[in-house]
């Protein structure tokens, strides 16, 4: 009897020791740590930033969690090895390394994207101001708006911490900015061409010399500097700022292109109140024989559609609306300046319109600055 009681007590003691000494198959804190790793990977956009590593983690994590649920009620001795726990710990170590790498990569992407977007915004502002200064906005058309949207999109993605998309939008904006400057250089490059400038200078000198010889008035207009200069007896006496056609910096080709023509002209008519829709107007003999020669040659060579006309009705005029910033191709002065010019010239006065009078003209300087900035983008 006493022996049986002793055996019972020993069995009870052994059971208590077993319960006290045994542990769960998987430590709960390990599972919590892996759940946190899973959340970190999602927050760090691992599906996009490290797709292969994330797929491997998800595949292993799902499989191991299923085994944990099956083994949840099992216990083991502390000294017993657990294959399941070992696999979970290996997964934790591997995925923790991935999280660390993604943190470093994200920090690097943040710095790169921040610098790139800020630089593009500065470049866009600078280029836009130069484009406005040389009337290039209409020439560029929708490209200006599209580029602005791309830069804003890059900024938006950056603020959302989506650095990959921010850099993608920034790359597209970068190409758009370079395309804009390349187009401006292509269309307006003649303002920096030494031969063209020399030709324009010759035209202007001949007009000034005519004024000196005939002791009369003459007009020279520089499109690049938007300036009309009045000469009397070969001497410069007045100058006025002018506004040009909505595509005034281009060479006039056809009717309706908004370009202001270049060449030697004369005043054919002085139109006062009631004779013009504007405040005052000086009609020019555009198109003249040289304009028609160039137009016909361009048509024959296929550069101009057969259906297009050469146009006409080019004037130096005042404003019918003081808020009007552009013309259809004419040269416009503010009304007070137009009044003084109108009184100072007569029918037959020579009017020479050139692209520029100096190499350091406003368009050439703007193109040079844009070219420098393009290499920095």
| Residues whose CB is less than 8 angstroms from the CB of residue 46 and which lie 6 or more positions away in sequence, other chains included | 53, 54, 57, 98, 102
Residues 38, 182 within the same domain: no
Consecutive H or E run containing 237: strand 235-241
> Where a domain ends, among 128, 163, 190?
190
Q: Which domain holds residue 120?
A: 114-190
Closest CA to 343 of 237, 223, 244, 242: 237
Residues 353, 241 within the same domain: yes
Residues 174, 275 within the same domain: no
Q: Is residue 159 part of a domain?
A: yes
Residues 36, 173 within the same domain: no
Q: Is residue 3 part of a domain?
A: no
92-117 pLDDT, tens digit each: 999 999 999 988 988 998 999 999 99
Which residues sit opposite 270 in a β-bridge? 282
On whether the CB atoms of residues 205 and 332 are closer than 8 A, the answer is no
DSSP letters for 71-124? TTT-EE-TTS--HHHHHHHHHHHHHHHHHHHHHHHHHHHHHHHHHHHHHHHHHH
> Where a domain ends, among 190, 218, 237?
190
236-282 pLDDT, tens digit each: 999 999 999 888 888 898 998 889 999 999 999 999 988 988 899 99
**Res. 129: pLDDT tops 90:** no
**Distance between CA atoms of residues 168 and 162, nearest Å:** 10
**Distance between CA atoms of residues 314 and 266, nearest Å:** 11
Neighbours of 166 (CB within 10 A): 25
67-87 pLDDT, tens digit each: 888 765 455 555 455 788 889
Q: Is residue 259 part of a domain?
A: yes
How many domains would you assign to the chain? 3
On whether the CB atoms of residues 57 and 35 are closer than 8 A, the answer is no
Residues 207, 354 within the same domain: yes
**Res. 150: pLDDT tops 90:** yes
């Amino acid at each position: 009897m006493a022996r049986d009681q002793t055996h019972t007590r020993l069995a009870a003691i052994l059971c208590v020791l077993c319960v006290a000494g045994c542990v769960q198959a998987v430590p709960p804190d390990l599972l919590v740590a892996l759940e946190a790793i899973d959340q970190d990977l999602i927050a760090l956009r691992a599906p996009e930033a490290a797709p292969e590593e994330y797929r491997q983690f998800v595949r292993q994590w799902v499989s191991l969690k299923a085994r944990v649920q099956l083994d949840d009620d099992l216990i083991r001795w502390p000294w017993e090895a657990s294959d399941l726990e070992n696999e979970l710990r290996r997964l934790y170590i591997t995925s923790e390394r991935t999280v660390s790498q993604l943190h470093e990569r994200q920090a690097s992407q943040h710095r790169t994207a921040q610098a790139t977007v800020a630089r593009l915004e500065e470049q866009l502002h600078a280029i836009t101001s130069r484009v406005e200064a040389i009337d290039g906005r209409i020439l560029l058309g929708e490209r200006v708006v599209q580029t602005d949207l791309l830069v804003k999109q890059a900024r938006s993605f950056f603020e959302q911490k989506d650095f990959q998309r921010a850099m993608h939008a920034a790359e597209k904006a970068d190409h758009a900015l370079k395309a804009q400057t390349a187009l401006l250089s292509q269309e307006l490059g003649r303002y920096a061409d030494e031969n063209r400038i020399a030709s324009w200078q010759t035209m202007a000198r001949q007009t000034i010399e005519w004024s000196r010889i005939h002791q009369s008035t003459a007009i020279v207009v520089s499109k690049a500097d938007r300036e009309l200069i009045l000469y009397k007896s070969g001497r410069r006496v007045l100058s006025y700022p002018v506004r040009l056609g909505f595509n005034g910096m281009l060479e006039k080709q056809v009717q309706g292109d908004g370009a202001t023509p270049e060449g030697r002209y004369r005043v054919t008519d002085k139109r006062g109140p009631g004779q013009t829709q504007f405040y005052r107007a000086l009609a020019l003999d555009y198109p003249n024989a040289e304009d028609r020669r160039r137009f016909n040659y361009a048509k024959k060579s296929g550069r101009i559609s057969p259906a297009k006309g050469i146009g006409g009705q080019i004037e130096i005029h005042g404003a019918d609306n003081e808020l009007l910033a552009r013309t259809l191709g004419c040269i416009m002065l503010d009304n007070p300046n137009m009044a003084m010019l109108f009184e100072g010239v007569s029918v037959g006065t020579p009017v020479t319109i050139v692209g520029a009078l100096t190499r350091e003209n406003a368009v050439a300087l703007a193109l040079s600055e844009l070219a420098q900035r393009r290499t920095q983008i």
